Amino acid sequence: MDIFLQQLINGLVVGSIYALIALGYTMVYGIMQLINFAHGEIVMIGAMVTITCINLLVGAGVQLPGPVLLLVGLMMAIPVSMFLGYSIEKIAYQPLRKAPRLAPLITAIGVSIVLQQAAMLIWGRNYRPFPPILPSEVHIIGGAAITDLQIAIIALALILMGGLFFLIEKTKLGRAMRATAQNPEVAKLMGVNVNTIISMTFVIGSALGAMAGVMVAANYDQAHAYMGFMIGLKAFTAAVLGGIGNIGGAVLGGLLLGIIESLGSGYLGDLTGGVLGSNYKDIFAFVVLIIVLVFRPSGLMGERVAERA
């Protein structure tokens, strides 16, 4: 029971991060029917910029509490990621809006590779440790351990997801985003600036991605230039699981994928008689992806999106 509860907590932490990243994928798909494979690299760059800023501040002898240092790092990483997301949309995707779907898809993969290689040139291939600046007190709940950092990750992810729901459902910008997702041409006739809405979608998704990247780096105590590929692929799987294009589906898919992956890795050794260990946990994301695509390609909450796909 202790192991089950521990894996459930771990799954909620990882699932919260997957959900935040999956929101970036699903928002862009909902607006443009484009799978932005470069989103994983935005997540990576958010993490790397934050670590770099914190290291510079600590190296310069700045005496600030750990959470404040992290906040300063985030205040640098989020604008960088937002600018990157905006630039990618304007330079790589906007000229291809009327092109066959394969063209922007291949472009997205190309942009992902370019960003990854650029990150390797800037930060190198080695792992970058996350500075030990955050409190690491451990709390015991029902025999399972959870740290202050993990609690903060879950709480912050829930706040961000709640804020995004409010923005989309209750604000003028959100109504314009929903109108553009429904029918861009009609939205344009109703006075919506579709180009601005699409750009804002990339900017908001990139900001969420940057914060998710910092969560990943803090949770695993490290980041590296090629981390965006795997974390992006898992978040994409979460978006497909929930129903890509559906905001609620991305959250549900992220949490479910995190729990499935965590429980699977916890019991994988027992299930396979010790042949496979927890280091093979990544296979669960892709097993889930295959099962969803075979039996329910529209995802758990993506009935309307199935017609687009």
**pLDDT tens per residue across span 33-88:** 889 999 999 999 999 999 999 999 999 988 889 999 999 999 999 999 999 999 99
Domain annotation covers residue 305: no
Write down how long the chain is. Answer: 309
Phi-psi region of 245 (alpha: psi -120 to 50; beta: other; left: phi over 0): left
Task: Report pLDDT for 85.
Answer: 96
Domain annotation covers residue 307: no
Domain annotation covers residue 304: no
Write the CA distances from 203 to 80, 115, 183, 270, 277, integer angstroms. Answer: 10, 17, 21, 44, 39
Domain annotation covers residue 121: yes
Write the CA distances from 270 to 10, 55, 266, 276, 294, integer angstroms. Answer: 18, 41, 8, 9, 27
pLDDT above 50: residue 309: no
Most confident of 150-154, 276-280, 292-296: 150-154
Domain annotation covers residue 147: yes
Structure token digits, residue 69: 């240092």
Domain annotation covers residue 309: no
Domain annotation covers residue 300: no
CATH number of the domain enclosing 49 = 1.10.3470
Q: How many domains does the chain have?
A: 1
Express each pLDDT in 176-220 by its tens digit: 999 999 999 999 999 999 999 999 999 999 999 999 999 999 999
Domain annotation covers residue 262: yes
- Where in the sequence is the domain holding 194, given as residue range(s)? 1-295
Q: Could you tell me the pTM of the whole model? A: 0.92
